[in-house]
């Protein structure tokens, strides 16, 4: 058990950044203050910052300043070692590390990168730092371009090197292992490693190993002519466009980078047309060589195309450019959240997080931070995989969220829409959407269509719904998706990216209906503030609830809070606190509070209470000194929709808080509504909470 771990590799480009990102994400799901320290960096801070330090600090919003996250550049460290001032260097590293450690619950140390001259000293310096900081190590070895025997040899030698210096090794991660080697590598290492060393084997992944267009653009130092928004395109292959177009087209592979002289207008046009065609793989980008721009008609044609891949112009010749591209390595940078998330997802998939957690985590926070909350959501969803239907399958945001969800294996998904159109959109967006994990259904052509029509007719014929009306309604994606949930063909539904709230929830109110004992369908938002997660209700459904409805909303919201790991302390909000105010609205809140107390005496509830008294400990103590809710409220119930909707949006915009929801509560089966301005992150989170809701039964 320890509060520090050292991530070390024995060679460059081993993938230890993946381990750092995954471990940071895991630990932030359990503790509030995680530190990050990289004692020796490659970059000269006066010229260029270390990209990985920037990535970790920015992505996880760490409070650590960049200059506090490292001690020396490689050049400075080598000077200390060469001049025999090793102890002075170590003393300074310890001092800087201890200062950082004072304000953290756990600290991740990252070893040096082995890039550039002087790599011989790096193993010794890494061992020296780990030993002097009393940090157990996780060792990362790369399988790239290695035989199975070479991987085993490298891992065991690396382990012996640390053990010889009496440094505890918590685990060994064999990264970038070819698929056909995985079984042998795992078996041979398991047989030879000590039992207390955790072994993880991570397969090679093009998405992590191969560079993006931006990586190439940064290295080539060229001019970007088109396609700024597509710089994150992944490059899996590259080809020289120096032949006739018919022959050239045969060489286009998935995610290919095409390098061609700028005067080859035929290759340029052929490449862009191939990218638009459903008969050809996706083109990652074009690099135009020799330094002069294409002719004006070609530029005008490119500018008028709807989907333009990145087009770069470089001064170098074709052969030299290809040689440079071949040497470019992938990087994980702060401006590439897609690759960061892929690294974290890969860690979560292939690392035994529970085994690692038992060895290194000593501190668990009682408070629920936003990162802890989101981390727990994914873990809860994975406990019982559910099928969630997304009716708006043609929306780009839905497809992007679906790709991320399917990659994480959190849920099963059903998309509604035309399969051909959805496949074309997936290609256009460059998404890696695994259709073996995602089902696409065209409602009108579904095998369930007739059964769903007859079911709807039987359910609604007393409401003057005819068979013809039922047929028409069942071609509507909201009705079809809701019927899937009602019939048990899906466990929950998320919609609203392109439809109104009324359109989304009307079918659910008509035939899914409410749970026994509940008459009011309401909603909550999980407001992920800087240091806590609060539950806001009702901010989306009921315009002016009665006292009875308000009490039911409060009870439902408290149950939701408990279901998602947040201890419910309910604040019934009003414009006055305690007995100080009078008026119809405050009387309604006072009546609702009494109803909650009588119906659920197990719940902690206070009301009427003002927002500041509910959430600010100082104000709460002043206004209501004897309250166990004032200043500590976690569930905030607004008196009407006008107040609730405006408040959640104001908090979201002014504080940068993440608002997850709205999540509907009270229905027999989960159906959740999105805002038409929702982001991909909003969709992702709403699908996850819908999956968790559906586990209740």
- Provide the pLDDT confidence category of residue 181 given band limits of 50, 70 and 90: very high
CA–CA gap between residue 461 and residue 469 (Å, rounded)? 10
Q: Kindly report the three-state secondary structure assignment for every residue of 191-259.
A: HHCCCCCEEEEEECCHHHHCCEHHHHHHHHCCEEEECHHHCCCECCEEEECCCCHHHHHCCCCCCEEEE
Q: Is the pLDDT of residue 466 over 80?
A: yes
169 has pLDDT over 60 = yes
Higher per-residue pLDDT: 245 or 84: 245
pLDDT score recorded for residue 526: 93
State the span(s) of the chain assigned CATH 3.40.50.300: 4-206+339-360
- For the segment 251-305, what is each residue's pLDDT rounded down to a tens digit? 889 889 999 999 898 999 999 988 888 788 889 999 999 888 898 898 888 888 8
Specify whether domain 213-326 bears CATH 3.65.10.10. Answer: no
Domain with CATH 3.40.50.10750 in the chain: 522-666
Residue at token pair 């157990």 = 136
Tokens of 95: 């001092």
Q: What is the pLDDT of residue 670?
A: 93
pTM here?
0.70
Residue 547 has pLDDT above 90, yes or no: yes
460, 510 Cβ separation under 8 angstroms: yes
Give domain 522-666's CATH superfamily: Isocitrate/Isopropylmalate dehydrogenase-like (3.40.50.10750)
State the average pLDDT over residues 467-479: 92
Q: For position 44, what pLDDT does the model report?
A: 60
Does 45 score more than 80 pLDDT? no
- CATH architecture assigned to 4-206+339-360: 3-Layer(aba) Sandwich (3.40)
Asked if residue 387 has pLDDT above 90, the reply is yes
Report which DSSP code applies to 508.
I
pLDDT confidence of residue 114: 65
The domain 370-512 having CATH identifier 3.40.50.10950: the answer here is yes
What pLDDT, in 10s, does the model give residues 192-243?
999 889 999 999 988 888 899 988 988 888 899 998 888 888 898 889 988 8
What pLDDT digit, counting tens, does each position of 134-148 carry?
888 999 999 998 999
Predicted confidence at residue 121, as pLDDT, reads: 63
Angle between helices 122-132 and 148-164 (to 10 degrees): 50
What is the per-residue pLDDT across 666-678, written as a single tens digit (0 to 9) for each? 899 999 998 888 8
> What is the side-by-side order of every strand in the sheet holding 223-226?
223-226, 311-313, 283-289, 256-261, 237-240
Q: Is the pLDDT of residue 306 over 80?
A: no
C-alpha 438/C-alpha 168 separation (Å) is 44
Q: Write the DSSP symbol of residue 569.
A: E
Question: Quick one: pLDDT at residue 363?
Answer: 46
Tell me where in the chain the CATH 3.40.50.10950 domain(s) lie. 370-512
Q: Is the pLDDT of residue 616 over 50?
A: yes
**73 CA to centre of own chain:** 32
> DSSP labels for 581-632?
--SHHHHHHHHHHHHHHHH-TTSEEEEEE-HHHHH-HHHHHHH-TT-SSTT-
Interatomic CA distance for residues 22 and 41, integer angstroms? 20
Taking residues 488-495, what's their average pLDDT?
94
């Amino acid at each position: 058990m320890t509060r520090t771990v050292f991530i070390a590799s024995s060679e460059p480009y081993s993938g230890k950044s993946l381990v750092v990102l995954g471990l940071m994400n895991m630990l932030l799901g359990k503790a509030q203050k995680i530190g990050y320290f990289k004692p020796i960096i490659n970059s000269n801070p006066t010229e260029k910052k270390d990209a990985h330090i920037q990535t970790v600090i920015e992505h996880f919003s760490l409070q650590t300043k960049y200059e506090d996250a490292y001690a020396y550049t490689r050049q400075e460290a080598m000077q200390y070692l060469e001049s025999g001032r090793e102890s002075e260097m170590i003393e300074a590293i310890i001092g800087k590390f201890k200062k950082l450690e004072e304000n953290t619950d756990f600290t991740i140390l990252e070893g040096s990168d082995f890039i550039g001259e002087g790599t011989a000293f790096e193993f010794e310096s890494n061992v020296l730092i780990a030993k002097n900081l009393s940090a157990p190590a996780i060792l990362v070895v790369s399988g790239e371009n290695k035989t199975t025997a070479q991987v085993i040899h490298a891992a065991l030698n690396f382990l012996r090197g640390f053990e010889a210096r009496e440094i505890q090794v918590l685990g060994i991660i064999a990264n970038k292992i070819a698929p056909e080697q995985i079984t042998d590598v795992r078996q041979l290492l398991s047989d030879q490693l000590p039992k207390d060393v955790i072994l993880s084997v991570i397969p090679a992944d093009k998405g992590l190993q191969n560079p993006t267009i931006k990586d190439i653009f940064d290295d080539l130092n060229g001019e970007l002519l088109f396609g700024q928004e597509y710089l994150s395109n992944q490059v899996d292959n590259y080809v020289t466009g120096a032949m006739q177009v018919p022959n050239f087209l045969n060489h286009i592979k998935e995610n290919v980078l095409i390098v061609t002289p700028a005067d080859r207008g035929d290759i340029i046009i052929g490449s862009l047309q191939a990218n638009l065609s459903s008969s050809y793989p996706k083109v990652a980008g074009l690099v135009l060589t020799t330094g002069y721009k294409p002719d004006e008609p070609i530029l005008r044609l490119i500018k008028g195309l709807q989907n333009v891949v990145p087009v770069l112009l470089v001064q170098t010749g074709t052969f030299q450019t290809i040689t440079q591209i071949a040497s470019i390595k992938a990087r994980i940078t702060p401006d590439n959240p897609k690759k960061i998330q892929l690294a974290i997802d890969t860690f979560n998939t292939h690392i035994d997080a529970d085994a690692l957690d038992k060895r290194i985590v000593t501190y668990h926070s009682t408070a629920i931070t936003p990162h802890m909350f989101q981390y727990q959501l994914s873990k809860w969803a994975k406990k019982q995989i559910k099928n969630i239907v997304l009716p708006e399958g043609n929306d780009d945001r839905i497809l992007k969220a679906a790709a991320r969800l399917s990659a994480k294996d959190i849920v099963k998904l059903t998309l509604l829409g035309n399969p051909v159109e959805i496949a074309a959109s997936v290609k256009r967006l460059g998404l890696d959407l695994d259709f073996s994990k995602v089902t696409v259904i065209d409602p009108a052509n579904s095998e369930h269509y007739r059964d769903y029509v007859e079911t709807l007719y039987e359910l609604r014929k007393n409401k003057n719904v005819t068979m013809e009306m039922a047929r028409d309604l069942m071609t509507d994606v909201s009705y079809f998706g809701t019927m899937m949930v009602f019939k048990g063909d899906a466990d929950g539904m998320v919609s609203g990216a392109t439809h109104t709230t009324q359109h989304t929830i009307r079918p659910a109110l008509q035939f899914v209906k409410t749970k026994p004992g509940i008459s009011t369908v309401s909603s909550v938002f999980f407001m992920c503030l800087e240091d806590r997660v609060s539950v806001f209700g009702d901010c989306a459904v009921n315009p002016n609830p009665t006292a009875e409805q308000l009490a039911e909303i409060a009870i439902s919201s408290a149950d939701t809070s408990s279901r998602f790991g947040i201890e419910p302390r309910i604040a019934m909000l009003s414009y006055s606190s305690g007995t100080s105010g009078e008026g119809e609205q405050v009387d309604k809140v006072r009546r609702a509070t009494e109803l909650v107390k009588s119906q659920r005496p197990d719940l902690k509830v206070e009301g009427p209470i003002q927002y500041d008294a509910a959430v600010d400990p100082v104000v709460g103590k002043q206004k209501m000194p004897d309250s166990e809710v004032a200043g500590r409220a976690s569930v905030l119930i607004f008196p009407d929709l006008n107040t609730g909707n405006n408040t959640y949006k104001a908090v979201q915009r002014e504080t940068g808080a993440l608002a997850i929801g709205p999540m509907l509560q009270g229905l027999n089966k989960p159906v959740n509504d999105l805002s038409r301005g929702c982001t991909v992150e909003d969709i992702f989170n709403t699908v996850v909470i819908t999956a968790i809701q559906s586990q209740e039964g």
